[in-house]
Amino acid sequence: MQKRALGNSSLDVSALGLGCMRMSSGDSPVGDRREMIAFLHAAVERGITFFDTAEVYGPFTNEELVGEALAPFRGKVIIATKFGFGPNPDGSPGMTGLNSQPEHIKQVVEASLKRLRLDAIDLLYQHRVDPDVPIEDVAGAVKDLIQQGKVKHFGLSEAGAQTIRRAHAVQPVTALQSEYSLWWRNPEADVLPVCEELGIGFVPFSPLGRGFLTGKVDENTTFDSSDIRSRSPRYTPDARKANRVVVDLLERIGAQKGVTPAQIALAWLLAQKPWIVPIPGSRKLERLDENIGAVAVELTPGDLAEIEGAVSEITVIGDRYPEALRKQAGR
């Protein structure tokens, strides 16, 4: 597996990471714990060294799973986790309310360290920007944790350009994690230029469009009610039918290369910048192997120009999140 540095930092990771959320949360059924531990071991054996989790996944159970599974590989893998949510405002089970108060951050880190079985968190992201807490205070709290040796690197997720600049001025930001793929390219306008200017790595989540860009989802696919896609405007049957043109493009390029649409989608991301490290989620070995295969796919300038030209003529239909979730999580 090739390695990449996240920006100008000393944090070297596998060119492709692994998003772990759906191993224990996100939709039903979640993965069997023993099977997921074996799966995480297989990922390490295949050269994956960068694993992504968060306290809110579960909540808490995903960190516990990742901590147990990767305990034998301490010093060989990089684990990223996140803070930023609090209990539901209405008192119901789960976490949705934003909370990045400095004292809360420090409490979350202590709990995450225990669940992850770590002495220090390799990369700690603010999961979503909290409009009630100045980003300088958030960065200052993480800076304190870094000075205490409990955190090694600071990251942000879904933050805008000015927020990144303000945070970086207090505590250097190692990585910015946001959704980015051939059908969600918003980071290109302001965020990627700021990352390049400041030497910040970029970690795309949902690089395969929550499965849509693999070509295995169409207008006839059904989703469990626990699956966010069942409520997302971008995944209504009509939107999926209209957005199929993106997959058609990937299939056409893939056929030329003898690879899958998913591999083209990931290879396209990897070709954008040498400091971009996608983290596709997976729970199956065949999908993991397919994703890893994307690292070896070489897209020529001609290929990239063809993709760019075709995508520029496509209008993707539907918002990526339902309105209630956008408001709730600041997305």
- Strand order of the β-sheet with 173-179 is 18-19, 50-52, 78-83, 123-126, 154-157, 173-179, 201-205
The tokens of 90 are what? Answer: 């209405």
| C-alpha to C-alpha distances, 266 to 186, 257, 285, 321, nearest whole angstrom | 17, 14, 17, 22
How buried is 305 (Cβ within 10 angstroms: 0-12 exposed, 13-18 middle, 19+ buried)?
Answer: exposed
Q: What is the Cα–Cα distance from 274 to 286, expressed in whole angstroms?
A: 26
Q: Which residues fall within 8 angstroms of residue 291, CB to CB, at 6 or more apart?
A: 16, 262, 263, 266, 280, 282
Strand, coil or helix: 98: strand
Which tokens hold the place of 304? 């990239």
* Residues taking part in catalysis: 57
Q: What is the largest CA-CA distance in the chain?
A: 55
Give yes or no for a contact between 40 and 70, defined as CB atoms under 8 angstroms apart. Answer: yes
Residue reference for tokens 């696919």: 221
DSSP per residue, 79-146: EEEEE-EEE-TTS-SSEEEE---HHHHHHHHHHHHHHHT-SSBSEEEESS--TTS-HHHHHHHHHHHH
Give the number of C-alpha atoms closer than 13 A to the C-alpha of residue 238, restricted to the C-beta side: 4
For residue 181, give both structure tokens. Answer: 């793929």
